[in-house]
């Protein structure tokens, strides 16, 4: 490996040349020059695959436009669980019949957390950490207010995330459900999901993992870990497009003992029976509410199949290599300018993005966006470098971090 003479840093071009996944980048749509120089925000919105526009057109013509209402009988009624099963198999370590696609992440969180709280009348506490993503915290605030539950807050080390020991003294016989992010949206900390799930189960409570920042970039084994509930988003590493639907995982062993509160016709046991009273469907379908967003879930399929073709282990390996490289570049180019890396340095405790803090990063981000270098910014002063393993090159990371350094220099 040729390295930079002064720093011993490997050269990006050589890393790309040696990358077994390098050719996967060709599967993604490339915008016109000037629009995009370095995309470092796949953790917020993944890039579209080239296949997606064509597949959407085919869907509009062949499925929607030609089969019309017949499509529901022929295919679409099962689309949420068919796409869900495939997400489960390829990315979650979940056997069939436990995943469904629909709603937004926030609505899915509401449905599953309500189901967990309502099913355990003697348990009136919900545990979440103060650094969790706002929508998770807000949804739980609302549920606590309406159900008379108490929120028990974990205050983790902000530069990392929640560790099993953080639950000591908080978990107890009043705990209904624990809601944590598998990968923290800010620090990128990757939680010990099996360890925490075990601790929660020892207390007799249910565990819900928010997979938004891990699904499609970190392999998982929800079934093997005994996870009860999970919710995830599909517009980050599953490349479903802006506002694409969420998915929910409900462990088969829990499904028929839980009931979610939004009793729509598509979660009923006989949606087209036009029956008098609601009776929830058996199994995962009871977690569906309204008409499934069939058109909106089409792009997800393209990315799940691309991931399947290389496997989650290869995705994870490249993800680690990219974040290692980004940390190395940040250490070399940004830390000397007063920036601080606030993500775990141990790859085993890190997802697919890193965050670097500097008081000027809000202005830096605005300047970078004009230049087609696209990280994102999270208050108070975190710049996130998100590395989508199948669409990001090492050259892009080097160019991006160098551009951050240059913008910082201009503004200082």
Which residues have a catalytic role annotated? 133, 210, 235-236, 384
Q: Is residue 295 at the binding interface for a second copy, with CB under 8 A as the rule?
A: yes
Could you tell me the CA-to-CA distances from 199 to 168, 182, 223, 281 in Å, in that order? 9, 15, 16, 31
Find the binder of a second copy among 233, 250, 329, 330 (CB under 8 A).
Answer: 233
For 108, the 3-state DSSP assignment is: helix
Asked if 35 is part of the footprint of a second copy (rule: CB under 8 A), the reply reads yes
**DSSP SS3 for 181:** strand
3-state secondary structure of 19: coil
Instruction: Single out the residue of 161, 293, 344, 389 in contact with a second copy (rule: CB under 8 A).
Output: 293
371 is an interface residue for a second copy by CB under 8 A: no
Rule CB under 8 A: say whether 299 interacts with a second copy: yes
Q: How far is the CB of 19 from a second copy (least distance, A)?
A: 22
- Min. distance of Cβ 38 from a second copy in angstroms? 11
Q: With respect to a second copy, which residue has the nearer C-beta, 24 or 197?
A: 24
In this structure, are residues 178 and 132 in contact, taking their beta carbons and an 8 Å threshold?
no
Q: Decide: is 187 part of the binding site for a second copy (CB under 8 A).
A: no
Question: Which window, 17-25, 100-108, 195-203, 340-348, contacts a second copy (CB under 8 A)?
Answer: 100-108
Contact status: 33 vs a second copy (CB under 8 A): no
Question: Least distance in Å: CB of 136 to a second copy?
Answer: 9
Measured over the CA atoms of residue 226, residue 132, residue 158 and residue 166, the dihedral's sign is: negative
**Contact with a second copy (CB under 8 A): which of 78, 138, 195, 363?**
138
Q: Does 135 bind a second copy (CB under 8 A)?
A: yes
Point out which span in 11-19, 169-177, 289-297, 333-341 binds a second copy (CB under 8 A): 289-297
From candidates 128, 139, 306, 339, binder to a second copy by CB under 8 A: 139
Task: Give least dist CB 226 to a second copy, A.
Answer: 27
Task: Give yes or no for residue 331 binding a second copy (CB under 8 A).
Answer: no
The secondary structure of the chain in percent helix, strand, coil, rounded to multiples of 5, reads: 45, 15, 40
Query: CA geometry: angle at 242 spanning 348 and 362, to 5°?
Result: 65
Contacting a second copy within 155-184 (CB under 8 A): none
| Continuous H helices in 226-294 | 252-255
Q: In what order do the strands lie in the sheet with 376-378?
A: 340-341, 353-357, 382-386, 376-378
Nearest of 26, 46, 141 to residue 352 by alpha carbon: 46
Is position 395 an interface residue for a second copy (rule: CB under 8 A)? no
- Pairing relationship of beta strands 353-357 and 382-386 according to DSSP bridges: antiparallel
Dist. CA 93–CA 173, nearest whole Å: 29
At its nearest, how many Å lie between a second copy and the CB of residue 145? 9
**Cα dihedral 176, 280, 282, 287 sign:** negative
Nearer to a second copy, 55 or 402 (CB): 55
If one asks whether residue 56 binds a second copy (CB under 8 A), the answer comes out as yes
Question: Would strands 340-341 and 246-250 be described as parallel, antiparallel, or unpaired?
Answer: unpaired
Question: DSSP 3-state assignment of 107?
Answer: helix
**Which of 8, 20, 70, 311 touches a second copy by CB under 8 A?**
70
Position 81 contacts a second copy (CB under 8 A): no
Contacting range for a second copy; rule: CB under 8 A; set: 81-89, 169-177, 262-270, 343-351: 262-270
Choose among 319, 333, 364, 363: nearest CA to 188. 319
Place of tokens 């030609």: 66
Residue 146 near a second copy by CB under 8 A: yes
Cβ–Cβ under 8 Å, residues 157 and 185: no
Residue 200's SS3 state is helix
**Closest to a second copy by CB, 113 or 227:** 113
- The residue written with tokens 């190395």 in the block is 328
Provide the minimum distance between the beta carbon of 347 and a second copy in the complex, in angstroms, as a whole number. 25
The pair of structure tokens assigned to 320 is: 């680690």
CB of 303 to a second copy, least distance (A): 13
- In the complex with a second copy, the residue whose CB is nearer, 6 or 257, is 257
Q: Decide whether 20 or 273 has the Cβ nearer to a second copy.
A: 273
Instruction: Assess 296 for contact with a second copy (CB under 8 A).
Output: yes
d(CA 12, CA 357): 24
Q: Which of 3, 7, 31, 173 binds a second copy (CB under 8 A)?
A: 31
Binding to a second copy in span 7-26, by CB under 8 A: none
């Amino acid at each position: 490996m040729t390295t930079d003479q002064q720093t011993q840093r490997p050269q990006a071009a050589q890393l790309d040349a040696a990358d077994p996944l390098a050719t996967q980048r060709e599967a993604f749509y490339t915008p016109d020059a000037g629009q995009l120089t370095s995309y470092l925000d796949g953790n917020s919105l993944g890039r579209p695959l080239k296949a997606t526009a064509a597949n959407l057109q085919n869907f509009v013509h062949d499925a929607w436009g030609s089969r019309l209402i017949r499509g529901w009988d022929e295919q679409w009624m099962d689309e949420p669980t068919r796409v869900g099963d495939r997400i489960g198999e390829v990315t979650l370590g979940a056997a069939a019949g436990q995943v469904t696609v629909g709603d937004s992440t926030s609505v899915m969180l509401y449905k599953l957390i309500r189901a967990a709280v309502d099913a355990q009348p003697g348990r009136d506490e919900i545990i979440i950490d103060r650094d969790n993503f706002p929508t998770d915290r807000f949804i739980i605030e609302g549920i606590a207010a309406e159900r008379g539950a108490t929120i028990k807050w974990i205050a983790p080390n902000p530069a990392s995330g929640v560790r099993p020991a953080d639950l000591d003294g908080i978990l107890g016989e009043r705990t209904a459900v624990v809601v944590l992010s598998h990968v923290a949206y800010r620090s990128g900390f990757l939680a010990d999901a099996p360890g925490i799930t075990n601790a929660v189960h020892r207390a007799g409570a249910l565990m819900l993992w928010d997979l938004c920042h891990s699904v499609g970039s970190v392999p998982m084994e929800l079934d093997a870990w005994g996870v009860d509930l999970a919710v995830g988003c599909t517009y980050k590493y599953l490349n479903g497009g802006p506002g694409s639907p969420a998915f929910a995982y409900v462990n088969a062993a829990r499904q028929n003992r839980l009931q979610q509160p939004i009793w729509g016709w598509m979660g009923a046991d006989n949606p087209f029976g036009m029956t008098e009273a609601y009776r929830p469907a058996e199994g995962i379908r009871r977690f569906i509410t309204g008409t499934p967003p069939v058109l909106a879930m089409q792009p997800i399929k393209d990315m799940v199949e691309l991931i399947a073709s290389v496997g989650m282990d290869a995705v994870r390996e490249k993800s680690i290599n990219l974040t290692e490289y980004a940390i190395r570049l940040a250490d070399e180019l940004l830390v000397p300018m007063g920036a601080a890396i606030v993500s775990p340095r141990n790859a085993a405790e890190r997802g697919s993005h890193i965050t670097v803090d500097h008081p000027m990063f809000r202005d830096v981000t605005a300047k970078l966006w004009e230049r087609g270098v696209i990280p994102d910014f999270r208050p108070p002063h975190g710049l996130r470098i998100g590395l989508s393993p199948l669409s990001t090159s090492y050259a892009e990371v080097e160019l991006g971090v160098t551009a951050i350094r240059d913008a910082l220099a201009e503004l200082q």
